[in-house]
Copies of this chain bind each other. A is one copy, B any other.
Amino acid sequence: MLEIERKFLIDRLPERLEIFPHEPVRQGYVAADPNGTVVRLRQKGDRFYLTVKSAGERARIEREVLLAADQFEALWPATEGRRLEKTRYYLPHGAYTIELDVYHGALEGLFTAEVEFESHAAAEAYAPPAWFGREVTYDPRYKNLQLATRGRPPA
């Protein structure tokens, strides 16, 4: 699956966020290859995933499989020191779904929003809502791998 997305910082969360669907997410990184390949374990609610992402910024090839809980637990220790936790909220925005991430732990206070697109043309045409802050699609410091390993960048 080809992944095309844009990512934005959020300075202030929308009100009444709890009315939107949301779920806890914890994820950790098993390996980051210099060729750009990243291997991630993620628990989303009660579902477990292993994801392999290839290189790139706005477009990446992503291969994801559902894991059984015992497979996940056996591999999870390999992510030690490269983990993060967040709550992900799903907000409708026209034809799109905004994935709003509220980070916890060492990243408390950080909020990001991602929108995924079917094409580069759609990504370019997208008009973010007024409450979105600075775009960080191309800022590697806000990739979750970087956040998990290096923490929150200075504002």
In this assembly, does A34 line the interface, its C-beta being within 8 Å of a C-beta of chain B? yes
Q: How far is the CB of A90 from chain B (nearest CB, A)?
A: 25
B33 lies within 8 A of A32 (CB) = yes
Provide the main secondary structure of the chain A interface.
Answer: strand
Chain A residues with a Cβ closer than 8 Å to the other chain, count? 22
A114 to B34, CA, bound (A): 29
**Chain A residues proximal to chain B, CB less than 8 Å:** 30-34, 37-39, 50, 52, 54, 63-67, 70-71, 74-75, 77-78
Q: Which residues of B contact A66 (CB under 8 A)?
A: 71
Taking CB as reference atom, which chain B residue is nearest A74? B65
Q: How far is the CB of A63 from chain B (nearest CB, A)?
A: 5
Q: Which residues of B contact A30 (CB under 8 A)?
A: 31, 37, 39, 52
Q: Which residues of B contact A54 (CB under 8 A)?
A: 78
A63 lies within 8 A of B77 (CB) = yes
Q: A30-B39, A37-B30, A74-B65 are in contact. Are A50 and B52 (CB under 8 A)?
A: no
A63 lies within 8 A of B34 (CB) = no
A77 to B67, CA, bound (A): 18
A31 to B33, CA, bound (A): 5
A38 to B33, CA, bound (A): 9
A70 to B107, CA, bound (A): 36
Q: Which residues of B contact A74 (CB under 8 A)?
A: 63-65
Q: How far is the CB of A3 from chain B (nearest CB, A)?
A: 14
Q: How far is the CB of A16 from chain B (nearest CB, A)?
A: 38
